[in-house]
Structure 1
Amino acid sequence: MTDAELPEDLARLWRRPTGSGSRLGRPAGLDVERVVRTAVAMADAHGLAGVTLPKIGETLGVTGMSLYRYVGSKDELLILMGDSAFAVEYIDAGAAGSWNEGLQRWARGLWRAYQEHRWLADLPTSSPPRGPNAMAWMDAGLRAMRPLPLDRMTKVGILTLVSGYVNTSARMAQQLEQGWRQSGGVDPALAAQRYGREMARLVTPDRYPDAAELFSSGTFDTAAAPATATPVDPAEANFIFGLEVLIRGIEATTASAALDTH
């Protein structure tokens, strides 16, 4: 397939030439890359809701309608933004001692991208990976799993599972933070204590025996107390804990599959 035969949206995603439209009347220096960079900066500052073609056009000194010369639709723009924001700079290229260490590094790199561009967690998933940065992430994840005796599609499934976990963790952390801010910025440790004490009054052992035991134990008071003098982001700590559990599950499944083949 030649560049001319590629779908136009895919050609734009890979910054290949497209045959649509005349270049006459296009502002000098304006191209897909500049439009996407402007949209990403706008999303970083105001979230996805703050990104509109008229606002991008105003920032670039053109009309919103003129941007359709560079992006086919708002949905296409979101795909372009996502691939740009998942930059390869977040991929940990350091040599890992094992596949599980490599996969953990891969997942933590994704987490960093979600922290730098918080709107990424709100992007819809409309297709498998198609862009150059998305392909770099897939390549890095598959490379980390080279030692695993699994077929290629199983490895793709593992990447889907892990990336889905990172996405969900990032979105949940952001929603909890938003709720915390809306409640007046109560300290998360105090919020945990208050939650535990309120539930202890309402959750009775006759109806919720195990949950009642949890809340009456003072677990949330203990969990809210800092374990070390070094501040730790609770959201990141929860993410890392869950990631370690997930990786151990993959290890166990892989070991079981290896035994079944012998």
Structure 2
Amino acid sequence: MSDREVPGDLARLWRLPTGSRLGRRAELDVDRVVATAVELADREGAAGATLPKIAAALSVTPMSLYRHIGSKDELVALMGDAAFGPVPESLAARGEWRADLREWALAQCAVFRAHPWLAQWPITGPPRGPHAIAWMDAGLRALRPTGLDWGAKIGVITVLGGYVRQGFDLERQLRDSRTAAALDESQALANYGRDLTGLLDAGRLPDIAALFDSGIFESIPPEPDSAAASMSEDFHFGLELILDGVAAAVK
């Protein structure tokens, strides 16, 4: 690393030593603050990881947290990077870009399943933390055999990562709404089709009317009972479309 001084927030994000190391080790540090914040978010959602709640869980004052996290915005970055965690060893590139990139995307889905709040976490800029950078590296490594230039590679993993995040959050919200209404996916879609069919004007909305008349919303099979089931068929369809687009760019 160069002799350039690293900004304090980046030093904390990468856990670089700062200041004097003399004396007794502090009882509270960045890792403990961030781990507590992530645990609260996992248990109560993003709203559960407020500074007062974090401080209460650690039996300290909210103001004392600023010695370790710098600011609320810095806490956002620290929590996001910690929740993503290290890249799984299973993502070691095998030299088959499509399979490797698919596994990269599905591994991110697993992260969001473990930390659902992360899909709605603020994005404040390009990756800066050690875990985020490692995930970026894994995506770029998967694309190594394609021969795409750096700009194209970054574009691919940006589009794919955004799709995974948005796709997971959409499915989570739909699943939560169905759960609240005590419906499974097939029942919810059947109700949707039945409720709207009579309202559609085929002269003004011909393709939508044809879609609803096709009966497609009556033929969706029930979803798996397990809440931890893999992403839906729709998600995988979209994922393969993106990979098809990458293949077209690779030629």
TM norm structure 2 = 0.90
Q: Give the one of 218, 239, 244 matched to 1:248.
A: 244
How much does 1:97 deviate? 5.2
For 1:99-110, what aligned pairs fall within 5 Å after superposition? 99-110=97-108
Q: Aligned to 1:70, what secondary structure does the other structure show?
A: helix
Residue 183 of structure 2 is matched in structure 1 by 186
CA RMSD, Structure 1 to Structure 2 (Å): 2.7
In the alignment, the residues of structure 2 paired with residue 85 and residue 151 of structure 1 have an alpha-carbon distance, to the nearest angstrom, of 30
Residue 213 of structure 2 is matched in structure 1 by 216
Code of the residue aligned with 2:17 in structure 1: it is P
In the alignment, the residues of structure 2 paired with residue 104 and residue 242 of structure 1 have an alpha-carbon distance, to the nearest angstrom, of 11
Residue 6 of structure 2 is matched in structure 1 by 6
How much does 1:227 deviate? 9.2
Residue 192 of structure 2 is matched in structure 1 by 195
Q: Structure 1 stretches of 5 or more lacking a match?
A: 256-262
CA contact (8 A) 1:92 1:106 kept: no
How much does 1:151 deviate? 1.1
Superposed CA offset, 1:15-44 (max 9, x none): 012349x999x9943110010000000000
Q: Which moved more, 1:85-94 or 1:9-18?
A: 85-94
In the alignment, the residues of structure 1 paired with residue 228 and residue 121 of structure 2 have an alpha-carbon distance, to the nearest angstrom, of 27
CA contact (8 A) 1:91 1:140 kept: no
In the alignment, the residues of structure 1 paired with residue 2 and residue 115 of structure 2 have an alpha-carbon distance, to the nearest angstrom, of 34
Q: Structure 2 stretches of 5 or more lacking a match?
A: none
For 1:16-165, what aligned pairs fall within 5 Å after superposition? 16-19=16-19, 28-90=26-88, 92-96=90-94, 98-165=96-163
In the alignment, the residues of structure 2 paired with residue 42 and residue 3 of structure 1 have an alpha-carbon distance, to the nearest angstrom, of 37
CA contact (8 A) 2:86 2:134 kept: yes
CA contact (8 A) 1:3 1:16 kept: no
In the alignment, the residues of structure 2 paired with residue 13 and residue 151 of structure 1 have an alpha-carbon distance, to the nearest angstrom, of 29
CA contact (8 A) 2:87 2:135 kept: no
In the alignment, the residues of structure 2 paired with residue 58 and residue 138 of structure 1 have an alpha-carbon distance, to the nearest angstrom, of 35
Code of the residue aligned with 1:121 in structure 2: it is A
CA contact (8 A) 1:99 1:148 kept: yes
How much does 1:110 deviate? 0.8
Residue 258 of structure 1 is matched in structure 2 by none
Identity of aligned residues (%): 47
How much does 1:226 deviate? 4.3
CA contact (8 A) 2:87 2:131 kept: no
In the alignment, the residues of structure 2 paired with residue 123 and residue 229 of structure 1 have an alpha-carbon distance, to the nearest angstrom, of 28
In the alignment, the residues of structure 1 paired with residue 131 and residue 232 of structure 2 have an alpha-carbon distance, to the nearest angstrom, of 24
